[in-house]
Amino acid sequence: MSAEPRVELAAIDRSRLPAHVGIIMDGNGRWAKQRGLPRSAGHTAGEHALFDTVEGALELGLRYLTVYAFSTENWRRPPSEVKFLMNFNRDLLLRRADDLDERRVRVRFIGRRGRPVPRRLVELMEATEARTAHHDRLTLQIAFNYGGRAELVDAARALAEDAVAGRLRPDRITERSLHARLYAPSAPDVDLLVRTSGEQRLSNFLLWEAAYAELVFTETLWPDFDRYALYAAVAEFQRRARRFGRV
């Protein structure tokens, strides 16, 4: 999907919303470079895009939204940028926890929480999850130190541990039993996966959950994404014919 006409909320059929939308928030660095700014400025601008998108999800009535905030591969970035992102995500939770709580948004973090993620950041993540756990208007899942392959490895390890302990027979391992050991097994499968900035790849995001997702790619850089861009993606989703292997 390239640049598209503005789509208004009224154009969306609320009876055919995707149960779960995933977004790969890409293009912060390029947005900043185009403006002669440091990459950190792109990440800061991306915060506004994220929360305008959350507002759009609330207006639509979406139930699940998962955003790719920091991948297991992002540790390879320059140390100065990694340090900025750790501090930025910590400060973002401090700044925005009240807003999300007031809007009755349940916040979850999916991904590995051990080292090298700073312990203080993990504590804030867990505090935000506990504070918003009772909300059911929208579940916002933030994929942080997340990788789709890592998630499947962790699920396979859990299956192996249960098998060794005698809690699960190997011949009883099924898709359902593996799914139950994913990071957020109660979340529905992803119906719509959006990637910004013109890139057209999954980049190790929700590999299991997005097996049958409709993919929408937009040229819009993430800091320029907003609720209307979300509406456009949902409108495109509603134009698709989904067959799931049937004719």
Sheet holding 214-217, edge to edge: 105-110, 138-146, 64-71, 20-24, 192-195, 214-217
Terminal C-alpha separation, the chain: 25
Identify which of 31, 35, 8 has the alpha carbon closest to the alpha carbon of residue 232: 8
Q: SS3 of 107, please?
A: strand
d(CA 179, CA 69): 22
Known active-site residue 87: no
Identify which of 61, 53, 156 has the alpha carbon closest to the alpha carbon of residue 96: 53
Catalytic residue among 52, 74, 162, 189: 74
Contact (CB, 8 A) for 174 and 158: no
Contact (CB, 8 A) for 202 and 210: yes
d(CA 190, CA 19): 7
Contacts for 35 with CB less than 8 Å, ≥ 6 apart: 41
Catalytic residue IDs: 26, 74
